[in-house]
Structure formats: C-alpha cells, structure tokens
Amino acid sequence: MPTRLSAIDDPAVQARWEEEPAFRFAVDQLVESETTLATVGSVIGDYQGVRNAVTKALEGMLAGDLTPEEALAQAQQEADAAIQEYNARIGE
C-alpha cells in the first residue's frame, strides 16, 4: 500500500501490481472514493497522542499494574491533555 499518491508511480509499486493485481484494489478504492466526513479519517486533532494514551493505559492494565478503572481514568486524563495541548498549538 503506497503511503502517498506520488508512490503510485514508483516502478517497484507498478511491478508489484503487475505480479499481484489484487494489491491495487485497495489503493484504487481509496483514490476513487468520494471524500465525505465518513472517509476523511479521524476528526480529533492529536490522534496519535490519544492513541498513545489508550495504548499505555491498556498495557498497564494487561500487565496487572492498573485496574480497569485506573486504566480508563489514566487514558482519559492523558488523552484529554493531548487534545488540549493540540488545541493550544493550533489556536482553539
């Protein structure tokens, strides 16, 4: 899966699609689909920051270091902080 549109023209990508035409299907679907609120992706500003907060809390819970309630509270606190920092950077 190319990570940017310009990579579609890369000879290695084109060669792979020649070998396995089905690999092109997902790219064609993404490129040709209509852009709507349902297709533009995450609507939160710091997606990676929120994801990191959730992952960290989940790992703590699975390791037995946090109860489910503690993990949820930690994830919420860290995710909220990531979003607030993002909003402050972009002026919201």
Segment 21-68, tens digit of pLDDT: 998 988 888 888 888 877 777 777 899 999 999 999 999 999 999 999
Residues 36 and 61 grouped into a single domain: no
- CA 80/CA 86 separation, integer angstroms: 10
Look at the block and give the residue holding tokens 């549109």: 5
Q: What is the pLDDT of residue 90?
A: 86
36-50 as b/e: b if 16+ CB within 10 A: eeeeeeeeebbeebb
Residues 1 and 37 grouped into a single domain: yes
The answer to whether 47 and 82 are in contact (CB under 8 A) is: no
Count of structural domains within the chain: 2
Q: How confident is the model at residue 69 (pLDDT cuts 50, 70, 90)?
A: very high
Model pTM?
0.57
How many CB atoms are closer than 10 A to CB 24? 18
Q: What is the pLDDT of residue 92?
A: 63
Residue 72's domain comprises: 47-90
The answer to whether 45 and 87 are in contact (CB under 8 A) is: yes
Residues 33 and 52 grouped into a single domain: no
